[in-house]
Amino acid sequence: MRKTLLPATLVVLVAITSAPTRGQKGQKDIVGVMPAQVRWFTPTYYTDGRQRAQLYGDSNQGGPWIDRVKIPAGKHVAAHTHPQDELVTVINGTWYVGVGDKYDPAKLEGYPAGSFVLIPAGLSHFVAAQETAVIVQLSGAEKFRTDYVEK
C-alpha cells in the first residue's frame, strides 16, 4: 500500500508547487495565495531596493491587475506622478505619503496597515518607509506608469 501512496503524493505535491500564484482573467478555480507564496521580483526600473509582485493580471500590459510593492525600511521614492488614479491599500507597516515636486520628509503623512489611499492622477507625490519595511497593494484597470518629476 505504501508504494501506491508515494506516486499519488508526488503528483499532488508537484501540482501544488507548480500551480500559478497569479490569478488570471477567466480563472475557473479558486486561486489562493498565502503570504509565503507571493513571488517577489525586482523590476529593472527599481534601483532602490523595492520589490514587486503581480497577484492578478499584468500591470505592464493594462487590463485589470493587482500588484504588491515592498519598500525596505528607511527608503523613499522620489516625487512622481501617474496618468491614472493610484489606488493603494497598506498591507504591512506604515506607508508615508507626501505631496509636492521634491521629496520632503516634513510633508509625509503616515498610513498604517489596513489604510486605503487614493492619489489622484497627475498629483506630484513621494512615498517612504521609515522605521519598518512596508508592503502596499496597488490595483488598476490600465497599464501602470510612473513619471518622475524629481531627478
Instruction: Give the residue among 23, 43, 41, 25 at the shortest CA–CA distance from 33.
Output: 23
Cα–Cα distance, 83 to 143 (Å, whole number): 10
**pTM of the predicted structure, to 2 decimals:** 0.81
**Cα–Cα–Cα angle for 42, 43, 49, nearest 5°?**
45
Walk me through the domains of the chain, giving residue ranges and CATH numbers. Answer: 2-148 (2.60.120.10)
Render pLDDT for 53-111 as a digit per residue (tens, 0 to 9).
Answer: 999 999 999 899 999 999 999 999 999 999 999 999 999 999 999 999 999 999 999 99
Residue 87: Cβ within 10 Å count:
15
- The set of cell numbers assigned to 68 is 504588491
Taking phi first (over 0 means left), then psi (-120 to 50 degrees means alpha), and beta for anything else, what does residue 35 get? alpha
